[in-house]
Structure 1
Amino acid sequence: MNIGFKHHIVGNLEYLTIPCFDETGVVTHCFTSRTGGTSSGECQALNLGFNRNDTRENVLNNFRIITQQINVDYRNLVFSNQVHEDNIASITMQDGGKGITVESDIRGVDGLITSERGVPLVTFYADCVPLFFLDPIKGVIALSHSGWRGTVKKIGEKTIYKMINEYGCCVDNILTAIGPSIGKCHFEVDEPVVGQFFKSFGKNAEEFIEEKKNKKYHIDLWRANVLQFQQAGIKDEHITVAQECTYCNEKLYFSHRRDKGKTGSLAAIMQLV
């Protein structure tokens, strides 16, 4: 397994990429931080969520800033609307701009997948787990938003199976990555949530759940998603984990839990070139 994303600093802007994805030369991608944008207040500075306490002008300008760095046309971005489910939409060139320049009809979706070049996919985060997928041989990419509900529903595993069954990918070629998100250190839940993980993962849930005092538990969502990748057949050397907690790093990341909902949105962006 590989640990760590690469940090890029351009002026006040900081963003992250996945080293093994960079090495393929077939994608441009990033995971954003909160630095280098034009938003203010609770959304300072690179907020990418239109549903936050921010102006549309600021968000559009922030998208222009980050997409310029990774050579993506922001007008072609395709958004998921993220409802904490396990639905994954197949995206084509005809979907370009949905969510940013035109109203989107992509509903009830937390994962996006495409095999077409020049179609930039976008998913949003403020503690939930960003999942990246790339088959550099077949030319297929996917992004999936995996909060605790998505992790219970195994959207990561389902994304891999969709790549294999619908796009003809070979599991031995698929590269995966888990981006910055809330760590086990700060993801505390109660018994009903833990019960859902045991129902989904069975005894394997013991690997990523730690019981604390007063019937509270800490869950390692990174490990839970790694387990899904492994169970789907992904090679250990094809798994990268950022191991950066959004809650812990206030200077670099927005965090819904830390900021009690008054925060901005980070984004995962990826496009075949």
Structure 2
Amino acid sequence: MVEAVLIDLFSIPANLQNNIQGLLCNTLETIEKCSSIHAPFVYVICCQRQWSDRKGEQEFLLPALGGFQSLKRRLEVVRALTTAAALYTIKQRLDEKDLSIIKVILPTLRKDLMKAYIDHLFTAVYQFEYEDLQVVSGSENLQISEHQGEGQTLPSQDMALIQSEIQMHLESLPSLKGELTILRSSLIPDGTFLHGFTTRTGGISYIPTLSSCNLFSSSKRRDPNVVVKENLRRLANAAGFNPEAFHRVKVDHANAVCIMGKTEPDSYDGIVTNQKGVTLAAPGADCIPVLFADPVRKACGAAHSGWKGTLLGVSMATVNAMVSEYGCNVKDILVVLGPSVGPCCYKLPRESAKEFHRIDPKCVRLFDSANPYIDIRRATRILLERGGVLPENIQDDSVTDQKQNITFCTACHPDKFYSHFRDGTNFGTQIGFISIKD
């Protein structure tokens, strides 16, 4: 069932531009006859340069809309200088209305090009189908272009131009919801390490649960990788690291650790390095992003610790990797727990809560209830201390000074952090990151 129709008039040949009214009339008639739902939303994209001499493209197209009152109320003309800018505006309109099934009506020779733009700007949440644009010229029906270009792979230079055009448009967009903010720990020495924990402000993601500095893309969310990459570029500029030497853990909610420079596992929740200028990162949207630093041996690490990873000891596994790979002394390793869901909000079924109760009864509140409250931070600290990390070398929510505390509850602060627990499946993601300075 088509929810929206996109009519691509962006590259109409000059000799056909004077007959756009007839073209649109013919196309709208087809939409109205064939649409499986009454009056889908219709978007027409046009090149701003082609319309520069017209007083208003919406007014110019009105004669073509005379017989299509139901469509007219749901039609919007989007004029832009580039296809990337036009499509990004269309994406915003679709997302505002939570639309996902789109028919694209376009010249045949534009099809492969349009598919390339759509592959970059949309995720698997959206479904696209394509239809050739028919043009009325006088009394004849004409195809705008021949079929010979359909289904072919675009040359690499064309793909590079598309990527560049999209990147330039995204870079031109204003930051949303305030300035980009980075939280830093006083425990990790600035002279040796660059580090921080991100908040949700200062990016370009506009969907409410993802706005604005979302740093993770997936096929199940509406934020494409190009938007996440732009958010990361802005973070890298603000923080001072190289986004091309950035490595994020491949989350599996377990305890595997990747050693930079060795064979990378298919999935892992911890990562360590002693290479300068390489930034390691762990995501979190309730799970704990944990950072590790050894100023003596100049090594660092990052880990993603959800409730499963916490029980499996992912933080201590990361510490052990630093000890075995780089000769670190466990007593020199500093550990900082970033923003995560707190014991004030986080619940698990009683069967899972039992595992935390075994670590320490203080990790569970209302243990006899069906869904007790769980303190994954306390459990992380206890397991680290049992492994030999000094209590004073662990920074978490036990820091009571609000100027020093960075282990906020993500669920309690919707203005600052993303939260899967609070926002549901289409949630955004913040990260903790660390690198050794050159």
Both structures adopt the same fold (TM-score exceeding 0.5): yes
Letter in 1 for 2:268: V
Query: Which residue is 1:69 aligned to?
Result: 238
1:27 is matched with 193
Between the aligned partners of 2:193 and 2:222, the Cα distance in structure 1 is: 32
The answer on whether the counterparts of 1:80 and 1:106 sit within 8 Å (CA) in structure 2 is no
Please say if residues 356 and 379 of structure 2, whose CA atoms lie closer than 8 Å, have aligned partners that are also in contact. Answer: no
Q: Is the 8 A contact 2:356 2:374 kept in 1?
A: no
| Deviation larger for 213-222 or 132-141 | 213-222
* SS at structure 1 position matched to 2:266: coil
- In the TM superposition, residue 222 of structure 1 has moved relative to its aligned partner by 0.9
**Alignment of structure 1 residues 1-273 onto 2, 5 Å:** 12-21=179-188, 23-41=189-207, 42-51=209-218, 52-92=221-261, 106-198=265-357, 202=358, 204-211=359-366, 214-241=369-396, 242-273=406-437
2 CA distance for matches of 1:126 and 1:174?
25
Flag the structure with more relative contact order, 1 or 2, with Cα contacts below 8 A and sequence separation at least 6: 1
Shift of residue 238 of structure 1? 0.9
1:150-177 residue CA offsets vs partner (Å, 9 max, x unmatched): 0000111111122112221011211111
More helix by percentage: 2
Once the two structures are TM-superposed, the CA of residue 212 in structure 1 deviates from its matched residue by 5.5
Q: Partners of 2:428 and 2:295 in 1: how far apart?
A: 32
Supply the distance in 2 between the matched residues of 1:29 and 1:79 (Cα, whole angstroms): 14
For residues 330 and 216 of structure 2, what CA distance do their matches in structure 1 show? Answer: 33
Q: Which amino acid aligns with 1:218?
A: Y
CA distance in 2, matches of 1:169, 1:135: 7
| Cα deviation 1:18-64 (Å, max 9, x = unaligned) | 1121x351111111100010011121100110213212222111001
SS of the residue aligned with 2:415?
coil
Contact 1:140 1:167 in 2 (8 A): yes
The answer to whether the Cα contact below 8 Å between 1:80 and 1:107 also exists between their aligned partners in 2 is: no
What is the one-letter code of the residue matched to 1:219?
I
Q: Any conservation in 2 of the 1:64–1:74 contact (CA below 8 Å)?
A: yes
Instruction: Determine the C-alpha separation between the residues in 1 that align with 2:193 and 2:317.
Output: 22
Question: For structure 1, which segment, 130-139 or 229-238, has the greater mean C-alpha deviation from structure 2 after superposition?
Answer: 229-238
Number of residue pairs matched?
248
- What do the CA deviations read for 1:164-217 (whole angstroms, capped 9, x no partner)? 12221011211111111000011111111123334xxx3x42121112564221
Moved more, 208-217 or 167-176: 208-217
How far apart are the structure 1 equivalents of 2:225 and 2:311? Answer: 33
Counterpart contact for 1:86–1:154, Cα < 8 Å: yes
Q: Select between 163-172 and 253-262 the one with higher mean Cα deviation.
A: 163-172
* Cα RMSD (Å): 1.7
Q: Please, which runs of 5 or more residues in structure 1 have no aligned partner?
A: 1-10, 96-104
Q: Please name the residue that 2:143 is paired with.
A: none
CA distance in 2, matches of 1:212, 1:197: 10
Would you say the 8 A contact 1:126–1:254 is kept in 2? yes
AA aligned opposite 1:50: S
Runs of at least 4 residues off by over 3 Å: none
Amino acid across the alignment from 1:217: P
Normalising to structure 2: TM-score of the pair? Answer: 0.54
Residue 110 of structure 1 aligns with an amino acid whose one-letter code is D
Question: Is the contact made by 2:254 and 2:269 (CA closer than 8 Å) also made in structure 1?
Answer: yes
Shift of 1:234: 1.4
Amino acid at match of 1:150: G
Aligned amino acid, residue 62 of structure 1: N
* Counterpart amino acid of residue 44 in structure 1: S
Deviation by residue 1:99-133 (Cα, 9 ceiling, x = unmatched): xxxxxx64221111001111111211111011111
